[in-house]
Chain A
Amino acid sequence: MLSVEGLNTHYGRAHILQGMALEIGAGEVMVLLGRNGAGKSTTMKSIIGLVRPTSGRIAFAGREIAGQEPHRIARAGLGYVPEDRRVFADLSVMENLEVGRQPPREGLRPWTPGRLFELFPNLGQMRGRPGGRMSGGEQQMLTIARTLMGNPRLILLDEPSEGLAPVIVEQMARTILALKQEGLTVLLAEQNLHFASGVADRATVVEKGRVVWAGTIAALRADEAARSQYLAV
């Protein structure tokens, strides 16, 4: 579904991604793990096109998308949920969803506000509330719902559990599993291995913009050495 090869990205002169590589099959949930500053968010931004990679290939559903503009990549069926949420603070919940709306995609049951409120019941109770006056957890739900309105085939979720209460984190895990049930492919960025192991099939560990470990999540849980080397704080 998504395949990234030899991806290099710079911020000014700083060489952040140094040959990043990934391979996700349709319907899979893959987690990108790594410490702060490892390059998880940069990988996602490079895929969605918010940062222009300097070189490398990104193929999505058989199409080369590296270097294209974000709106084209998004319309090709890639959804992006940023790490700092970025809800439109002045816009109501309904309006936030409207911004994300895109035409239905062939072979997918289109998302509607009604269906999303089944998935996120609390959002349904605050349809008119401005995004700026919602709790962190509610905002996180809203950004995911907003992205789903674009009917993506693959969704990039950047640290959805960050800064949330344990109950909400659990709810988030259930949501991701529900999305997987729907047939959505998910690339998740996380620091929370516990949360990740509950939802992901496979893991890719990043350090300094490179892949240092890849395999199934079960293998990672078994590999004490890798965990302490790459993930321990």
Chain B
Amino acid sequence: MDFIIPQLLTGLAGASSLFLVAVGLTIIFGVTRIVNFSHGSLMMLGAYIGWSILTRLPRDPEWFVLGIAATVLCTAAIGVVLEVVVLRRVYRAPELFQLLATFGVVLILQDVTLWIWGPVELPLPRPRWLRGFVTILDSRFPVYDLVLIAVGPAVLGILWLVMNRTRWGTLVRAATLDREMVAALGVDQRLLFTSVFALGAGLAGLGGALSLPNASANLQIDLSVITDAFVVVVVGGLGSLAGAFVASLLIGILQAFGIVLVPQSTLVLVFLVMAVVLVFRPNGLMGRPQAEAREATLAAPVVRPAPRVLRILGAVALLLAVAAPFLAGDYYLTVLTDGAVALLFATSLHFMMGPGGMASFGHAAWFGIGAYAAGLMSQWLGAPMPLALLAAPLAAGIVAALFGWFVARLSGVYLSMLTLAFAQIVWAVSFQWVEVTGGDNGLLGLWPPGWARDPAVYYWITLALSVGVAMLLRRMLYSPYGYALRAARDSAVRAQSIGLDVQRLRIVALVVAGAAAGLSGALFSYAKGGVFPTYISIPHSVEALLMVLLGGLQTVAGPIVGALVYTGLADILVRSTDLWRLVLGAVIVLLVVAFPEGVAGAARRLWLRGREA
């Protein structure tokens, strides 16, 4: 049992870094109501900038502290730029678009960082004073970890003082409660928001710089940190400083012991704890029910049947799609197959998001579960393709039911964050459980059997299944179930009062969406000849969101159009530039800034205006 104390201390040190990031996220959310996806990127920048500064300074403790301070200022300044250039313009946009815009920032910062510092990990050579040890209860313990352990509570204390003893802090707390009233009392919200963002960014930068001596600056920090930070913030309760601290401790210690006790499944453990917390306290340990943001929110979109023109267009497009193998070359046939898969993937997300009102930031989880289910069936049981294709939606549906049981009660941001965290866990499992999943190498050799191996035949199979299931989903939307689901989305309370079981409606939506996405994953795997962890990556989840939002939530045709446009664009983009993340990110940000109500929403408005005039 002599590992307990050292592990505990390691856990506490980890908790401190986690807290620095999570607390910034939570403060920013409290005031601006924006879940800042790019917060992890700010930490990553903190690490890189810290590396650049610290490696140029003398290696004494005073200089180390100075260097860290300079890093904090730099990231705070970057935060200001981000807020002024991007976020300020999307405060009135719907929640999802805000998340999407900050994700665009993640993509941009990825490429910018890669471009400035290169792809190689940058470790910080540790000066002697940082390598010291202290002996506590007979075990040697790194001095630096003790420093880290002290930083967390110190920052919490300082923040508490700032929040409770300064005018600025009072204004911030007031704005968290009712920012409109704060404005009506003569406070310039813009200054407040910008300064809050600067503080959050500075804290993330501090976290990044302080993590350097133990880790290194690398390009994976952004997404791995943001997932942990989401978990902490959800467990602690959105907007609560103390909650973020307690949750950081909990998660940090859990991770430290998890690594010793159950090395392969730390993430799963973390997720379980989060699930348990949320079952008993849906708003987190110290969170409160989210106040209505006290501002006119955009009404939820109505899903309406397609007009005649669109149906005819759709029929023509389908005919063309069926005839495509006779017209297009091999390369375009693979792009078209991808398009058909994307169509199903996007439609399944739209099903839970549009009519279901549940935005998912981890839709790739279902895609991946389906893909692995098919791959494992074929690899380990030698199942033929049709059976594997059947197993995929079943597996994804079952997992979705379990997951839904936990999350169906949650709303809005909590749900989005949880779906993301869940997808990260599925990803981690696929990545770490090498014996079963093949880890990074994936499951290889998953090809269609002889009769379906011809790309044209496989394309037809994919097309038939994708379009067939998409039609089925459409049918469900106009069935009594679909109406009930929409009623539940528009007002859970009212739906309940007329006797609808809102939870069950939502779980069913999750299961249906999960199963359909699972099928698309399996179809994709057979097209690519294998299953890989990248299927479950965050960018893949975001791709689905992009397709849906590009096409618009209002129509069933939306995700279909979105999927096809996106697949085409991405194909061109990836083939034509190395900086595709930068371009894609910039496009996302521009779209959200230019059309805060969504591209389809803007198109609809223009269309309506044209008709009324």
Contacts and interface: CB of A to CB of B under 8 A. Distances in A.
A89 B189 CA distance: 19
A91 B174 contact: yes
B185 A147 contact: yes
B185 A86 contact: no
Contact of A99 (B180, B187, B188, B189): B187
B434 interface: no
Interface stretch (B38-46, B165-173, B335-343, B344-352): B165-173
A148 to B, nearest CB: 11
Contacts, number: 61
B95 interface: no
Interface in B155-211: 167, 170-171, 173-174, 177-178, 180-189
Contacts of A86: 178, 181
A82 B173 contact: no
In this complex, the member of A11, A49, A99 whose beta carbon has the largest number of chain B beta carbons within 10 angstroms is A99
A94 to B, nearest CB: 9
B184 A48 contact: yes
A86 B111 CA distance: 45
Contacts of B296: 11
A95 B170 CA distance: 7
Contact of B189 (A71, A75, A95, A146): A71
Interface string A85-102: 010111100011011111
A150 B173 CA distance: 18
Nearest to A101: B167
B182 A99 contact: yes
A120 interface: no
B185 A90 contact: no
A188 interface: no
B167 A82 contact: no
Interface in A188-232: none
Contact of A71 (B170, B174, B188): B188
Contacts of A69: 183
A70 interface: yes
B186 A91 contact: no
A88 B173 contact: yes
B184 A90 contact: no
Contact of A102 (B173, B178, B184, B186): B186
A74 interface: yes
Nearest to B182: A99
A111 interface: no
A88 B171 CA distance: 10
In this complex, the member of B170, B178, B188 whose beta carbon has the largest number of chain A beta carbons within 10 angstroms is B170
A88 B174 contact: yes
Contact of B174 (A49, A70, A82, A99): A99
B181 A89 contact: no
A89 to B, nearest CB: 6
B185 A82 contact: no
A150 B167 contact: no
Contacts of B186: 71, 74-75, 100, 102, 150
Contacts of B171: 99
Interface in A44-92: 48-50, 69-71, 74-75, 80, 82, 86, 88-91
Contacts of B177: 88-91
Contacts of A98: 167, 170
A45 to B, nearest CB: 9
Given A88-B174, A98-B167, A150 B185 contact: yes
Interface in A100-153: 100-102, 146-147, 150
B178 A100 contact: no
A201 to B, nearest CB: 25
A99 B184 contact: no
Nearest to A51: B296
A71 B180 contact: no
Contacts of A150: 185-186
A88 B180 CA distance: 11
Contacts of A100: 185-186
A147 to B, nearest CB: 7
Given A98-B167, A102-B186, A90 B181 contact: no
Contacts of A49: 184
A82 B181 contact: yes
A48 B186 CA distance: 10
A50 B294 CA distance: 11
Contacts of B184: 48-50, 70-71, 74, 80, 82
A129 to B, nearest CB: 15
Contacts of A70: 180, 183-184
Contact of B185 (A89, A91, A99): A99
Contact of A74 (B173, B174, B185): B185
Contact of B173 (A50, A71, A91, A147): A91
A80 B178 CA distance: 14
A91 B170 CA distance: 8
Nearest to B164: A95
Interface string B61-89: 00000000000000000000000000000
Contacts of B167: 98, 101
Contacts of A80: 184-185
A97 B259 CA distance: 50
Contacts of B181: 82, 86, 88
A107 B409 CA distance: 56
In this complex, the member of B177, B186, B189, B296 whose beta carbon has the largest number of chain A beta carbons within 10 angstroms is B186
A197 to B, nearest CB: 28
In this complex, the member of A71, A98, A102 whose beta carbon has the largest number of chain B beta carbons within 10 angstroms is A71
A88 B178 contact: yes
A77 B324 CA distance: 69
B287 to A, nearest CB: 13
A147 B177 CA distance: 17
Contacts of B188: 71
A5 to B, nearest CB: 22
Contact of B187 (A48, A71, A82): A71
B240 to A, nearest CB: 11
A42 B177 CA distance: 22
Given A71-B188, A99-B187, A100-B185, A50 B180 contact: yes
A49 B174 CA distance: 19
Nearest to B189: A71
A114 B188 CA distance: 26
A123 to B, nearest CB: 17
Contacts of B180: 50, 70
B261 to A, nearest CB: 40
A89 B183 CA distance: 17
Give the 4 A-B CB pairs with smallest separation, nearest first. A74-B186, A70-B183, A99-B174, A75-B186
Given A74-B185, A74-B186, 4 more contacts: A70-B184, A71-B188, A74-B183, A89-B177
20 contacts: A48-B184, A50-B183, A69-B183, A71-B185, A71-B186, A74-B183, A74-B185, A82-B181, A82-B184, A88-B174, A88-B177, A88-B178, A89-B177, A91-B173, A91-B174, A95-B170, A96-B174, A99-B170, A99-B187, A147-B185
